């Protein structure tokens, strides 16, 4: 079987000193699955030497590309990386401190049977080793995901893979950035009838989280309400014929 083409998109913000060793691990993980890969770092709004370090990494690795954005915006960084990735193979979203070789292996195994693969922290068999408060925040978000927007997905944040053609078809419809860009993208894929498979994941962040839950949770809940209004105002897409799935 031909190894899959994988493009890994990684938003980075103020990651100087941490990024180099993390990239070494990521290269090892993806290289164990396929030789056909590319990594896109999207540096967004860093105030340290992240961009300079990213350029230094790219100078010695032809499969590593660097894009710079002026403002810090996680969702816009993912979107920009996806727009630059082209329409071949799988587009995989990793965080620099949260990535998984086992997930990449599952994507390769599911190559012919899925349009999107989500590493769900709530899937049976998952092991979430984060602090209790962050696990609770995930439960609250997943409950809101089901009750506010009516999704059947158990998770949309974190590691995920989508076929490049699916991203190309849906990206023009996505409106949100920041925390909920990838959530809106997956919800639109769900509404359009694409095959989304959730797989278990071991969540083992490589350092203490730096984002503030006190600011992020209310902002995310407000974003979900906005997303519900946006989706409700648009007609649900007709189911795609089986030959297109």
- Summarised one tens digit per residue, pLDDT across range 176-199 is 888 899 999 999 999 999 999 999
pLDDT of residue 145: 84
C-alpha separations of 117 from 60, 120, 154, 197, 215 in Å? 31, 9, 12, 5, 29
pLDDT of residue 243: 44
* 4-19: average pLDDT: 97
pLDDT of residue 179: 84
Q: 15: closest CA among 238, 230, 207?
A: 207
- Does residue 238 have a pLDDT over 50? yes
- Summarised one tens digit per residue, pLDDT across range 80-114 is 999 999 999 999 999 999 999 999 999 999 978 99
Residue 82 and residue 171 in contact, taking contact as beta carbons nearer than 8 Å = yes
Helical axes 181-191 vs 74-85, angle rounded to 10°: 60
Averaged pLDDT score across all residues of the chain: 89
Structure token digits, residue 71: 């403002």
Least confident of 24-28, 37-41, 73-77, 128-132: 128-132
- Domain spanning 6-244: which CATH class is it, in words? alpha beta
* 119-136: average pLDDT: 88
pLDDT of residue 214: 63
Which pLDDT band holds residue 37 (cuts at 50, 70, 90)? very high
Q: Which residue has the higher pLDDT, 232 or 76?
A: 76
Least confident of 7-16, 87-96, 143-152, 220-229: 220-229
- Does residue 17 have a pLDDT over 90? yes
pLDDT of residue 150: 85
Domain ranges of the chain: 6-244
Least confident of 22-26, 107-111, 224-228: 224-228
pLDDT of residue 242: 46
């Amino acid at each position: 079987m031909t190894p899959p083409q994988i493009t890994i998109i990684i938003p980075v913000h103020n990651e100087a000193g941490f990024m180099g060793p993390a990239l070494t691990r990521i290269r090892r993980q993806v290289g164990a699955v396929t030789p056909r890969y590319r990594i896109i770092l999207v540096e967004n709004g860093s105030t340290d030497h992240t961009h300079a370090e990213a350029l230094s990494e790219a100078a010695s690795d032809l499969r590593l590309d660097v894009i710079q954005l002026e403002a810090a915006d996680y969702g816009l960084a993912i979107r920009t990386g996806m727009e630059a990735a082209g329409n071949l193979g799988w587009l995989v979203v990793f965080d620099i401190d949260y990535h998984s070789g086992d997930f990449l292996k599952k994507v390769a195994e599911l190559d012919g049977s899925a349009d999107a693969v989500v590493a769900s922290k709530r899937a049976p068999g998952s092991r979430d080793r984060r602090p209790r408060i962050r696990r609770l925040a995930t439960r609250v978000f997943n409950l809101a995901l089901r009750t506010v927007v009516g999704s059947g997905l158990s998770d949309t944040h974190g590691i995920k893979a989508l076929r490049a053609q699916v991203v190309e078809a849906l990206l023009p419809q996505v409106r949100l950035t920041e925390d909920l860009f990838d959530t809106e993208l997956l919800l639109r894929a769900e509404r359009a009838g694409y095959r989304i498979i959730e797989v278990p994941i071991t969540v083992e962040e490589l350092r203490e989280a730096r984002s503030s839950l006190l600011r992020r949770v209310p902002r995310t809940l407000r974003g979900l309400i906005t997303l519900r209004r946006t989706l409700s105002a648009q007609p649900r897409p007709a189911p795609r014929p089986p030959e297109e799935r």
